[in-house]
Amino acid sequence: MRYRLFIVFIWATVALLIGFLCGCASPGACIKPVVQLERPLLPTVAEPALACLSDSTYISLALRDRLLHDALDECHLIVRELAEVPQ
């Protein structure tokens, strides 16, 4: 009789441990890391330095710069979704 009671106690303990370890936390209990996002200060290019570029080269560089800025904005949005970002 004591043996059966001991086995029941062991199984109940195992069941409770499994219940605690299986992640019964609420979805709001997720901890997000705090990330500080700062835009880098990019150097400006003076107009005389751009005079030696052809029109097609200048347009390509301007488009490349715009695409890089758009990609950076998208990365910032993703980080803001996944982490706490102080405003």
pLDDT profile of the chain (87 residues), mean per 10: 76 78 63 82 87 91 93 91 80
Supply the DSSP symbol for 23.
-
On whether the CB atoms of residues 84 and 32 are closer than 8 A, the answer is: yes
Q: What is the per-residue pLDDT for 28?
A: 62
Rg (CA), the chain: 29
Chain position carrying tokens 């490349």: 64
Q: What is the pLDDT of residue 10?
A: 82
pLDDT of residue 69: 92
Domain residue extents for the chain:
2-82
Q: Which pLDDT belongs to residue 35?
A: 83
